[in-house]
A and B are shown apart, each in its own frame.
Chain A
Amino acid sequence: MTSYIYPKFGYRRSREQADGIVTRHPIVVVGAGPIGLTAALDCAARGQPVVVLDDNDTVSIGSRAVCYAKRPLEIWDRLGCAAPMVERGVSWKVGKVFFRDQLSYQFDLLPEADHQWPAMINLQQYHLEEMLVAKCRANPLIELRWKHRLISLKQAADHASLAVETPDGIFTMEAQWVIACDGANSDVRKMVGAEFTGQFFQDRFLIADVAMKADFPTERWFWFDPPFHPGQSVLLHRQADNIWRIDFQLGWDADPEQEKRPERVIPRIRAMLGEDTEFALEWVSIYQFACRRIDNFRQGRVLFAGDAAHQVSPFGARGANTGVQDIDNLAWKLAMVLRGEASEALLDSYHEERAHAADDNILNSTRATDFITPKTKPSRYFRDAVLELARHHGFARPLVNSGRLSTPTPYLTSALNTPDGDAVPGPMRPGTNAADAPIAVDGRPSWFLHCLGDGFTIVAFGEVSDKTEIRVGPFAAKLIIVGRDIEDPTGLLAQRYGASPGTTYVFRPDQYVAARWSGFDEAEITEAVLRAAGHDTADRTELAA
C-alpha cells in the first residue's frame, strides 16, 4: 500500500559478541525510535559513548507520530538536526475547529514573531527517524546495533546485566545505566517490574494516511459531528510528500478488523473529500488509547523515557514531543553523574521533573478526550452547547478542546531551582525553558538559544564582570554578557527576560532557567549552579569554599 521505501540498516555482529568477552558500557539505550535516537545524540553531545539496541533493522512501520512542536525542534537544533526536519516537514500554526458544517473557532499557536523555529511541523515518523539515524551514524560516540533484542535484564548495585539475542545467538553485555525507550509496550518495564497504571478510554479511532493532491491549507482541521461523519469527530493534518493524515472517531462498538478493510475506509474518505478527489491509501490502522504513567522514571540503574514511561491520547501531540523533552532533561544529568560531578541524587530529579510533566500531559490529554468523547448524555449536551455558543460568542471559544497542543511544562517546584524573589519581572521564572530571541554576535544575526545548552551558562545584562567563565566546584560555567559577547539589537531579549542593567540568569544545560536576580553576585551564582546540579547544602558549602 505504501509508496515509502523502508531502508534496511543491516545487522553486524558486535566485537564483544564475537569475542565472548562481557563488556560494561556507560550507557545502553534500548529502542531506536525517535526518543532512543535522540537519547543517543544527546548523551553523545554530552561526551558519553552510547550503544543503542533495537530488535528491528529499519524505521518505524507506518506513520505514527506526525506533529513535532517548537520545543523539540529547539532540542534537535541543539543536537544539530532540526533544520533538515523543518525543511522536509510542513510548518503550521493555525488550527480550525468545525462543528457540523460551520467554523466554530480558530487558534494560532505562535502569535509572536521573532522565534527561530515554527510552532509545529508535521513529518512522518519514518522520515524523522531516518534523519536521526543518519545523524547517529555520523557520530563516532554512537554505536547502533540492529537486530539486537533484549531478552532479560538484571540489576546490580552499580550496573545492569543485559542478555541480548542477535542472529548469532545470545550474549551478555553490561551497562552502568540503561535508558529504556522501547515504547508503550516496553519489555524493559516488565523486566524491572514497574507499575504502569492509568485510564483506558472506550473509543476507537481509524487512522488513515492518504496520498492526494488537495488544496486544503496547511492547517490542523478538526470537526465535531461533521455532515460526512455524523456523531463523531474527524481530524485532518498535512504531512510531507502530499500525504495527509485523517483520524476518524469510530466509537467503542466499531469492529477493528472490519473497519481496517479498504472497502470500509475508502467510502469514509470519499464522503469527506467528495467524489472527484483522487487519493490513494498509504496506511490504515485502528487504535484505542490510554493515559498511563510509570510509577518511577528511575528504576535502579534503568531510566525510562518516552512512551515507555508515559502514554497519552494523541490529541495535543504530546507523545513524541514530551519524550524528546524527557531526554533533554535526562542526558546532561546522566553525563554529570558518569563524570562524577554530581551524585546519583541528581537522577532522582529526572523523575521529579519529568513525572510532573507527564502528569500535566496526561491531565491535558484526558480533558481533551473527555471533550471529544463525552461519556454521558448530559456531558454531550454541555460539549455541544460549548460548540454552538462558540460560533457566535467569544466566551465559549476557550472552552472548545480538540486537544491542547504540546507546550513545555515548567518545573516551577523543582528542588533544582533557586527560589525566585520578586526582583526580576516577567514570566522567565526558575524552572521555565528559555525563551528564544533574535540576537547578534560580532554583528551577525543569530538566536539566543544557540548560546545555551553546553553546560551551565550565566547570562548577565550589562558590563557587570570582566570574566568569561565562572568556576563552580567541578563546573566551568560560561559567562555571557549582553552588550559584550552578544548584542540585543531589537531589545526583544531584554524584554522577554524582564531585564534591566545587572539582571543575571543561570541556565541549566537543558536551557531551563535555574535562577535569576536583579544584580550580579558570584556567591549567589555559585550556590545556584551547585543546587541545579543536585548538590545538597553541605556539599554546596564544601564545594563553594
Chain B
Amino acid sequence: MTLNLAPNITDPDDFYAELIDSQRDLDEEQALRMNARLILLLANHIGDRKVLTEAIGCARAGG
C-alpha cells in the first residue's frame, strides 16, 4: 500500500467542521494534547509502516 493522497473523505466540509468544533472549547495546550492522541489513534488504525513513513515524510515536508 502507498499513502492515499487523493480525496478519500466523504463530505469533507462536514469532517473539517467536526475536527475544528471538537477543539473549540479547549485551550491551546489541551488541543495540542488532543492532537497527539488523535495522531496515535489514526496511526494505529493505518498500521502499515510504509504508509506511516510516507505520511510522516509528507507532513514534515510541509504537504
**A384: which of B36, B41, B44 is its contact (CB, 8 Å)?**
B36
By the criterion CB–CB under 8 Å, are A382 and B40 in contact? yes
Q: Is the CB of B32 within 8 A of A378?
A: yes
Given A378-B32, A381-B32: A388 and B37 interface contact (C-beta under 8 Å): yes
* B40 near A396: Cβ-Cβ < 8 Å: yes
Asked if A389 contacts B41 (CB within 8 A), the reply is yes
Tally inter-chain residue pairs, CB-CB below 8 A: 25
B53 CB to closest chain A CB (Å) equals 16
Within 8 A of A (CB), among B21-49: 32-33, 35-37, 39-41, 44
Q: Determine the distance from Cα of A384 to Cα of B32 in the docked complex, in whole angstroms.
A: 11
State the Cβ distance, B23 to closest chain A Cβ, in Å: 14
Chain B residues proximal to chain A, CB less than 8 Å:
32-33, 35-37, 39-41, 44
CB of A22 within 8 A of chain B?
Answer: no
Q: Which residues of A contact B33 (CB under 8 A)?
A: 381, 384-385
Give the docked Cα–Cα distance between A395 and B35 (Å).
Answer: 17
- Whether B44 lies near A385 (C-beta < 8 A) is no
> Which B residues touch A378, using CB under 8 A?
32, 36
Beyond the given pairs A378-B32, A381-B32, A382-B40, 15 more chain A to chain B contacts, judged by CB atoms under 8 angstroms and listed by A's residue number, are A381-B33, A381-B35, A382-B39, A384-B33, A384-B36, A385-B33, A385-B37, A385-B40, A386-B40, A388-B37, A389-B37, A389-B41, A395-B44, A396-B40, A396-B44
Most chain B beta-carbon contacts within 10 A, residue among A385, A389, A396: A385
Contact with B along A382-414 (1 / 0, CB 8 A): 101110110000011001000000000000000
Measured between alpha carbons, how far is A382 from B33 in the docked complex, in Å? 8
Q: Among the interface residues B32, B33, B36, B44, which one has the most CB atoms of the partner chain A within 10 A?
A: B36
Closest 9 CB pairs of A and B: A385-B36, A381-B36, A385-B37, A395-B44, A382-B36, A381-B33, A385-B40, A381-B32, A389-B37
Interchain residue pairs with CB less than 8 A apart (23): A378-B32, A381-B32, A381-B33, A381-B35, A381-B36, A382-B36, A382-B39, A382-B40, A384-B33, A384-B36, A385-B33, A385-B37, A385-B39, A385-B40, A386-B40, A388-B37, A389-B37, A389-B40, A389-B41, A395-B44, A396-B40, A396-B44, A399-B40
